[in-house]
Every structure is written in structure tokens, then in C-alpha cells.
Amino acid sequence: MDDDEDFEALFFSETRELLDALQEHLNLLADDEGDSETVHAAFRAVHSVKGGAAAFGFDRLIAFAHIFETVMDRIRSDTLMLDPHVAQILLRSGDMLQVLAENAEAGTEDKPVDGLQRLQQELEVLAGEREDGDIVEEGAPEPAPAEAAAPAEPEPSEEEDDTPALKEIVCRITPEEPFFESGHDILRLIRAAREHGLTTIHSEGDVPNIAEFDPRICTLTWELTFQTDQTLSDVEEFFGIYAHTAQLDFFQPGAEDDIDQDAEAQEESPAVQETPPAKSAQTAPSQQEKPPVGPAAAGAGGTNKPKAPAAPPNAARGADPNKSLRVEIARIDRLVNLVGEMLITQAALAQQITYGDEHQVSDMAHSVDAMSRQLRELQESVMAIRAQPVKSVFRRMPRVVRDLAEKLGKEAKLELEGENTEVDATVIEELSEPLTHMIRNSMDHGLEGNDDREAAGKPRVGRIKLAAEHKGERVIITIEDDGRGVNRERVLAKAIERGLVSPEDQLSPEEVDMLIFHPGFSTAEEVSAVSGRGVGMDVVKKKIMALGGRCSVVSTPGKGAVFTITLPLTLAVMDGMTIAVGDQKYILPLSQVVEALRITGESGKRLPDGSSLLERRGEYLRLLSLRSALDLPPRDSTDQMAIVVDTETSGHVALTVDELIGQRQIVLKSLEANFHKVDGISGATILGDGQVALILDVQALVRMQGASAPIEETFH
């Protein structure tokens, strides 16, 4: 059923949002910054997840969300004090809910989850459903003793005898006004109920005349008959999520004395019409989205042919099937307005051309100017649509810190800043991995153990700050910790051991720090499970560079380290400097261009080894011939320009070019799409005349042209 899958996808996408919000609320609560509204919001998030999960029959998710919700409810009603211990359990429960939701989405709902049982029991203790001393240790066999699982498992009786007597349980449900508003759907309820042994559905009531019809009010009542081995309270629990939004009456026709429900409901029970299951199953339509409006619209299945659980989601959907973007309406409006403006300008232009004479040339120029401005704005607005706050990545990090804190036995606190800084959606997607890695690095290598910290006179709990801010056309992300800083002696020793530098090299402390980004470098002496799997910060750097960004580190021994990542705001458009070498045109990223100089006879010098230097205001820079770097035929040209560029690894370097054409915005095109990566080239673009121009990867060119050449300037 496509319909079902659509709803399922929607459920998961909503669940992700709810859980993100939940994390935020729980973090506030854990930091003691929340108020009663935060508690309510967290409660509602858990409740909504549970409600959604119930509709799709994700039992584990429901069971866990249920006990979680009970605990939140107790906090909400002040029966349970929110102390740090409780807050910790809540945080872990938030993470657990996320894991369970992810499993459900991946179609591996039944996959064993580490710590689930224990956490569930801890929640039960908080919920007052279990004694403190009664927690079964994690090593206990996975199918928990029936007694232990009973309070939360909707189907606890699996271990009873093989042919349990089926009981008949009837539930009358009359949706009240908030039912639809709460997002419930009777058809969904019925489908889910099939899993619990629903056999017969009977509906009563009539749809009002169209003039009086109010879509919020449901005038129908359904009577659902179950043939089940579950107890009445199990069935009641299944309907529990509807308890606030519908009137529910339960009764057991077979066992009158068992019933402690409404007397009124009992009286009506003899009136129940038994409908043969087969008949109603045949009339069951399956594509109904809205509440059914006629008695025939309800669907039912029999216990003898239970509906197969929803098919696991397509494997092809991958980790994140949610490729949609939420965009503020204001941004769309802005686009619509701009397009309108441009249409007017275009009309004006057309008119000026049609009736044009000499005088109107200036008018036309005016219109063309207006159009360029509008186009630029249009482009910015389109880009803005893709811009998303970094929040979505940042929010995953507290969980990373918590997991690591547990594994490493270090307490640490993560501060987030500038979560609303916006970056292109593609950049955000790619950011998660390097950030996680850097946080791991800070946790593992940066922060000392709690005791060591105290001994060093620092606060016991380590601090990591993750911040984002805009700076010009780039976004700057910093990861700052107050740990021990980069261990320069060890880094240097390792670098020498790996042959990355020679012992004679006189490296400044900053240069030593930068070595951690060197490919193949990882300071972890033991390959730990946390970081240092033979890959290290070099992978981070590679990834960031692939995004057109840079990274650097500033470390103060004993005080901590600050890692800085700068990224372009978008990957699709950049400012470039067009240059010509021979008959070919190339683009240099403008962000790297420092200045352009004319090379005169005196400013070019040569070192004894033949490499060229350029003198600039009393300083010597490496001079690199783009012609030879780009494998172009040599040509004797005396009149050349030098462009000074800032490379990440080798300081300022001057490149000789034949001509400097100018600055322009370029649209990035991939060379890899139809070809493969070319060393020294980061991509391509299409010039105004339709020709392709290559975008130069300055770092790679410099590296290719002389790995052994001396470094002119220190890193900065």
C-alpha cells in the first residue's frame, strides 16, 4: 500500500523533528534552564511519537515511549523531582527513543539494542512501577522475564500456553472533538487494531446533512470486537493514546463479572450485531485518508489472516530519505516578487527595443542594469532557499558527547552557540561526519580525565564549545575545548617517526600543531574505539577541503585547543578571478587571491636550485609558473602578471599568469560527473562565450610543483 508507506515516511520525518525538539528540551532541563513549559513540550513530543508509533504498530517504540511518557507525566505533575540523576536518565531515554525510531525506520525494529532493557527498567523505577533494587542487570537474557516486561509490553502473554483461550473484548469508541485535531485517524486505529485480534467492526450514527457538517466533529461511533488472548487491560492500553480525545467503553460479553466499566456500555452490549468477518474484510477499502463517512467504509481483518506488518522501507532509501527542505514562506514570496519585477523590466526592455531610437539607448542600458541587479537578487534568494540553520547538525552533537563521556569515563559539557547560522543544505549534510570526528578528537585527546583536571586546578567537568558564525561569504565553525591542548612533543615525535618531517626541521609550535592534519597522522598510541582508527584529523581536513573549506588549530598547552573550520556558504556559486595562460582561461577562487602584481625585471629572483622567487615589499615569495604547472607549452613572455594567493599549507605563493581578466561570479560544474578528478583542478565553469574554464586548486598545484621546496611563510 503506497498510501501506507507515504504515511510511514511522513511519520518518520515528523518523528525526527519531534525527537530533535525533544533533545533540545531535555538538554535545557538537564542544564536546569527549563521551566514547566519545557517539561510540557517534552511530554508532548514523547506522546506524539508514541501516538504515531501506535498507528504503525512499532511495539518496542510504543512500549518505550509509553514508560518514558509516564515518567514525563510524573515530572509534569510534580510527583517526581527532576534531579540530575533523573535528567541523565531522560537524556539517555531521548537518545534511546532516537535509536528505536531509527531501527523502526530501517525495518530492523527487532534488532537488539544495548541497554534498552536496563533503561526501560530505570524508567519504570522513576515511574513508580518498579522497586529500585529490582533492576535486572544487562546481561540477563533478552526475552526478559515475563514479569519484568509486563508493565510496558503490550503483548506480554507470548510465553503462556500455546493455545490460549481467545476471549471476546468489545470496545466502543466515539471520537470527540479534539480527536482529528490531535492527528488521530480512525482508519489507522482500525488497521493497527487488526494486529491485536480485531474481528468485527460495527459502526453507528449518521453523517449530518452537508450544511451542518463540521469536519472536526465525528458523529459516528464504532464498536470493535476483538477475539484475543490478551487481557482487557492490554486492550485498554492499546486504546490508551485515544483516551483524551475519544470516549472509550470496554466490555467483555463473555465474562460479565470481569467488567468494571460503564454500566451504560454493558446495557448496550446485547445490541451488538455480529458481522461475519469475511464480509467486512471484503468491503474494506484501503486508500481512505479521511475518516470514513459511511458504515461500509470501515475495514476489518480476521485473526486467522493477520495483516502482514508494513513492509520494511526500501533499502534504496538510504540513511536519510528525507530530501525535502522546509522553507519559510517569506523566502518564497521574495522570489515571486523578484520574478514579477524581472518580468516588468523585461517588458520595458522589449518595448524599448521595438520602438527604440537613439535616445532610448540610455533607457535600455538602464533596464539592463536593473535586470542585472534583479538577477543577482534572484540568485541570492534562490540560494537562501537552500540555506538551513546548522542547528540540525549541531543538535546531534550532545548525544555524541554523552555517548563518549560514558565510554571514556570523562564528564564533559557541550555548549552550542550560533545554531541558527545558516549554511547551504548540501554543506550541512556533509558537515555531520567531520564535526563528529572533531568532537570525538576533543573528547578523546583534548580533555583530560576528571581527576587529572582537578589536579591541574581546572573545573572537574570538561567543556567543549561548538560555535558557528558568519564572516563575509563564509561560515566559521569553531570547536573549542579546555583540555590539555595539542601534545606537541608527541606530535613531533610521531611525525618524525612517520617521516613526515625530519628531526633537523626547525618547526614553529604552530607548524607542529598543524601536523595533526597531515595525511596518515593519528596521535592515538593505541587504536581506540573512539578515535584514531588509523584515520584522524587528516580525514576531517580532506572532507572540509572537498567542501571548499579550510581548517586550522590554535592550541595553548595546558589550556586547550581551538579548531576552526571555515566553509563557503554555498557550493553552487563562488566568486572567481578569471586569468589567462596562453589561449586558455582559468579561474582562481577569489577567496584565495591576495593581490595581483606586475612582474618587472628586478622583482623576479632565482634560488641556486633554479626555483624562482618574487620580491614583494622586501619579502620573498615562491614564484610558480602556472604554464608549467598546467602542462602547457612554454612560451617566452617577458610581460607577465603575478597573482599572490594564500595557500592553506604553504603560505603565500605567487603564480605567474599571462593576463588578468577580471572578477566574476561563477557557477560550479563538476568535472567528475563525466570524467574523473584531475590533480590541480577543483572543478570547472562555463564562461559567457560557452567555453569551459577550469577552476584551479591552488593548494594542489603548489604541492605538485614542489613538495620539497622550502616553506616561505609560517601558517596563519
CA distance 403 to 99: 13
Least gap, CB of 703 to other proteins (angstroms): 13
Helices (H), ranges, 418-487: 425-441, 450-455
CA distance 490 to 487: 6
> Phi then psi for 556, rounded to 5 degrees?
-115, 110
**Nearest residue (CB) to other proteins, 310 versus 671:** 671
CA distance 67 to 46: 10
What are the angstrom distances between the C-alpha of 643 and each of 31, 545, 590, 596, 632? 52, 22, 11, 4, 18
**Nearest residue (CB) to other proteins, 278 versus 546:** 546
Least gap, CB of 473 to other proteins (angstroms): 24
**Nearest residue (CB) to other proteins, 2 versus 679:** 679
**Nearest residue (CB) to other proteins, 362 versus 691:** 691
* DSSP string across 56-108: HT-HHHHHHHHHHHHHHHHHHTTSS---HHHHHHHHHHHHHHHHHHHHHHTT-
Least gap, CB of 704 to other proteins (angstroms): 8
Q: Which residues bind other proteins (CB under 8 A)?
A: 542, 546, 584, 629-632, 669-681, 684, 686, 690-694
Least gap, CB of 671 to other proteins (angstroms): 6
Least gap, CB of 339 to other proteins (angstroms): 21
Least gap, CB of 232 to other proteins (angstroms): 58
> Phi then psi for 579, rounded to 5 degrees?
-130, 160
CA distance 540 to 553: 12
Least gap, CB of 567 to other proteins (angstroms): 18
C-alpha cell at 470: 558568519
Question: Nearest-CA neighbor of 167 among 258, 89, 85, 242?
Answer: 258
Least gap, CB of 633 to other proteins (angstroms): 10
The amino acid at residue 466 is L
**Nearest residue (CB) to other proteins, 371 versus 545:** 545
**Nearest residue (CB) to other proteins, 146 versus 546:** 546
Least gap, CB of 181 to other proteins (angstroms): 48
CB 563 within 8 A of CB 553: yes
Q: Which residues of 615-653 are buried (b: 16+ CB within 10 A; e: fewer)?
A: bbeeeebbbbbbbebbeeeeeeeeebbbbbbbbbbbbbb
Question: Nearest-CA neighbor of 36 among 5, 3, 1, 77?
Answer: 77
**Nearest residue (CB) to other proteins, 456 versus 692:** 692
Give, to the nearest 10 degrees, the angle between helix 186-194 and helix 36-56.
60
**Nearest residue (CB) to other proteins, 351 versus 584:** 584
- The DSSP secondary-structure symbol of 229 reads S
Least gap, CB of 661 to other proteins (angstroms): 15
Least gap, CB of 572 to other proteins (angstroms): 13
Three-state secondary-structure class, residue 500: coil
Least gap, CB of 649 to other proteins (angstroms): 18
Least gap, CB of 615 to other proteins (angstroms): 28
Pairing state of beta strands 612-616 and 604-606?
A: antiparallel
CB 313 within 8 A of CB 107: yes
C-alpha cell at 139: 546481561
**Nearest residue (CB) to other proteins, 504 versus 679:** 679
Least gap, CB of 400 to other proteins (angstroms): 23
* DSSP string across 143-182: S--HHHHTTT-S-GGGGS-SSPPPEEEEEEEEE-THHHHT
**Nearest residue (CB) to other proteins, 171 versus 684:** 684
CB 338 within 8 A of CB 373: no
**Nearest residue (CB) to other proteins, 568 versus 680:** 680
Question: Nearest-CA neighbor of 70 among 113, 122, 24?
Answer: 122
**Nearest residue (CB) to other proteins, 281 versus 630:** 630
**Nearest residue (CB) to other proteins, 561 versus 588:** 588
**Nearest residue (CB) to other proteins, 597 versus 629:** 629
- Rounded to a whole number of angstroms, the distance between the first and last alpha carbons of the chain is 59
Least gap, CB of 330 to other proteins (angstroms): 30
Radius of gyration of the chain (CA): 33
Least gap, CB of 2 to other proteins (angstroms): 25
Question: Nearest-CA neighbor of 546 among 397, 648, 472, 471?
Answer: 648
CA distance 544 to 386: 19
C-alpha cell at 2: 503506497
Residues in the chain: 716
**Nearest residue (CB) to other proteins, 157 versus 432:** 432
**Nearest residue (CB) to other proteins, 636 versus 689:** 689
